[in-house]
């Protein structure tokens, strides 16, 4: 099996590569179908997905059976001021991959986000709930989803949120480091979502890719919490001496509005008996044991 991974230097791309190398995750073994996979993992410098000609040449020459797109412009605040880059990376890039994938009948997995929803909800969102983004990041990510659905017949759109893992920067590392350095933190307590372990997500992406159940999937840690709850558990599991104070979003002056409630429900995974995502607290506790 030939597998092309774009955005391979990001935390999810590296996590997928780690799983393909070790063939084992905390929640299970990677399917034997991947054992002798021929993997081409490219970062944004090696393959600019916004350049259609480069994408077309890469895909036509390598001929992947599976393309996993982890490339994205995820700086939510910068997206508000650099709209053209956000559009290119989050929408036109996925469109280019979709067109190239369709030409060789390859499967395409595209990683999307809870930001495609406005965040003005009270119950976890399912795959059949209608997106209504309120930020440039969310709007461009949604457009990327639309382009993929229009251009590619073998697509999987996997929406996730609040991702953390062993590679790169993330909220868990930020809180652990800040707690050690300062001993006092203020964290917002009025934004609710689903912390997601990157290894758990990577495992499910590889499982979904082996099916022909094309469409949209939500894939986040089970359960929901606020950023304050999340930070409290990080400090507790890390056994760091630190005081933490809850604050409201009004205390933060950011260009992009954050979703107040953007918890996702893994309804499609559940319906297909494929959901092995752990409760967010369980996954976090095991992760901190690992990184400590």
Strand, helix or coil for residue 166: coil
User: What is the rounded average pLDDT for all residues in the chain?
Assistant: 96
Task: Identify the band that residue 255 occupies on the pLDDT scale cut at 50, 70 and 90.
Answer: confident
What are the pLDDT digits (tens) for 59-96? 999 999 999 999 999 999 999 999 999 999 999 999 99
Listed residue (233, 258, 95, 109) closest to 176, CA to CA? 233
CB count within 10 Å of CB 190 equals 16
Catalytic site includes residue 137: yes
Strand, helix or coil for residue 157: strand
Quote the CA–CA distance of 135 and 24 in Å, as a whole number: 37
**Position 257 pLDDT exceeds 90:** no
Task: Identify the band that residue 194 occupies on the pLDDT scale cut at 50, 70 and 90.
Answer: very high
Say if strands 192-193 and 225-226 run parallel, antiparallel, or are unpaired: antiparallel
What is the percentage of the chain residues whose pLDDT exceeds 70?
100
**Position 17 pLDDT exceeds 90:** yes
How high is the pLDDT of residue 175?
A: 97
How high is the pLDDT of residue 86?
A: 98
Task: Identify the band that residue 119 occupies on the pLDDT scale cut at 50, 70 and 90.
Answer: confident
Domains defined along the chain, listed by start = 2-169+196-222+262-278 (3.40.50.720)
Strand, helix or coil for residue 62: helix
**DSSP structure string for 69-107:** E------HHHHHH-HHHHHIIIIIHHHHHHHHHHHHT-E
How high is the pLDDT of residue 200?
A: 98
Q: Which of 115, 137, 147, 155 is catalytic?
A: 137
Average pLDDT over residues 166-191: 95
How high is the pLDDT of residue 105?
A: 98
How high is the pLDDT of residue 120?
A: 87
Quote the CA–CA distance of 62 and 291 in Å, as a whole number: 36
Task: Identify the band that residue 250 occupies on the pLDDT scale cut at 50, 70 and 90.
Answer: confident
Average pLDDT over residues 194-212: 98
Quote the CA–CA distance of 25 and 14 in Å, as a whole number: 14
Average pLDDT over residues 213-228: 98
HEC states along 227-273? HHHHHHHHHHHHCCCCEEEEECHHHCCCCCCCCCECCECCHHHHHCC
How high is the pLDDT of residue 103?
A: 98
**Position 220 pLDDT exceeds 90:** yes
**DSSP structure string for 168-219:** S--HHHHHHHHHHHHSEEEEESS-EE--EEHHHHHHHHHHHHTS---EEEE-
Tokens of 254: 């950011």
Length of the chain measured in residues: 292
Q: 126 near 265, Cβ under 8 Å?
A: yes
């Amino acid at each position: 099996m030939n597998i092309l991974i774009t955005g391979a230097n990001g935390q999810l791309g590296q996590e997928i590569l780690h799983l393909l190398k070790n063939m084992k995750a905390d929640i299970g073994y990677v399917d034997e179908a991947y054992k002798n996979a021929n993997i081409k993992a490219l970062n944004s410098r090696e393959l600019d997905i916004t350049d259609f000609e480069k994408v077309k040449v890469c895909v036509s020459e390598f001929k992947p059976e599976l393309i996993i797109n982890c490339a994205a412009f995820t700086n939510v605040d910068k997206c508000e001021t650099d709209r053209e880059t956000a559009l290119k990376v989050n929408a036109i890039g996925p469109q280019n991959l979709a067109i190239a994938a369709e030409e060789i009948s390859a499967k395409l997995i595209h990683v999307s986000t809870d930001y495609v929803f406005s965040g003005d909800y009270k119950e976890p969102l399912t795959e059949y709930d209608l997106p209504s983004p309120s930020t440039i990041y969310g709007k461009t990510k949604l457009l990327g989803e639309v382009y993929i659905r229009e251009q590619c017949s073998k697509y999987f759109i996997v929406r996730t949120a609040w991702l953390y893992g062993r590679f790169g920067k993330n909220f868990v590392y930020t809180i652990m480091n800040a707690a050690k350095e300062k001993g006092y933190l203020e964290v917002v307590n009025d934004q609710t979502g689903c912390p997601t372990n990157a290894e758990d997500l990577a495992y499910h992406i590889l499982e979904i890719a082996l099916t022909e159940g094309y469409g949209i999937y939500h894939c986040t840690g089970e359960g929901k919490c606020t950023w304050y709850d999340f930070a409290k558990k990080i400090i507790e599991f890390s056994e760091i001496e630190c005081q933490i104070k809850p604050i409201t979003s009004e205390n933060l002056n950011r260009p992009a509005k954050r979703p107040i409630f953007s918890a996702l429900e893994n309804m499609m995974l559940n319906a297909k008996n494929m959901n092995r995502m752990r409760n967010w607290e369980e996954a976090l506790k095991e992760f901190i044991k690992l990184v400590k």
